[in-house]
Amino acid sequence: MPTLETAHHERTRTTEVLDALRAQHRAIDAQLDEMCNLVRGDDRDAMRDTWAKLEDALLAHLNLEEMHLLPDVAHRHPEHVRAVRAEHDKVRATLGEIGLALDLHVARAEQFERLAVDLRAHSAAEETGMYSWAEVELPKTTRELVLRKLRERLATIAGP
């Protein structure tokens, strides 16, 4: 039977995971803001580099959630998980559209602003829904794996 100290430690570990997920949301949001500024300034080289990092970070975040969080939440909240997966599909489609627009040199700041608004709403919903549930429902092994992956990824997003 877990002791009070063990229970507190487990709760702390889960909170670390959720804090890292939220930090990743903030880092991606900052990259989106930077991308909007670059598009407005028409800095093609910086756009290409920043876009590659942003797209990589965002896809990695979606994949992490889908591989490690959604399965553990799905058994108790299947409708929410279906909605999250649908939103992730929409984000991936938008990333493809924006990537093509960048390749064709027709990207507009409005596309990035719209993506930013959509991602902020999506993040807020995740943080009050799925992340709150995950705080209670994530198995220890999943928490440890997710935390390790998030820390690795956050280091690459933040950069030097």
The neighbour count for residue 88, using CB atoms within 10 Å, is 19
Give yes or no for residue 141 having a pLDDT over 80. yes
Distances, alpha carbon 41 to alpha carbons 34, 38, 108, in Å: 11, 5, 11
Q: Give pTM, 2 decimals.
A: 0.83
Give yes or no for residue 7 having a pLDDT over 70. no
pLDDT in tens, 65-119: 999 889 988 888 899 899 999 999 999 999 999 999 999 999 998 999 999 999 9
> Could you tell me the two tokens for 114?
């719209």
Site of tokens 């999506």 = 122
**Phi, psi dihedrals of residue 15, rounded to the nearest 5°:** -60, -35
CATH of the domain at 95: 1.20.120.520
How many domains, the chain?
1
Q: What is the DSSP string of 123-140?
A: HHHHHHTHHHHHHHH--H
131 contacts 150 by C-beta, under 8 angstroms: no
Give yes or no for residue 5 having a pLDDT over 50. no
Provide the domain limits for residue 125: 4-158
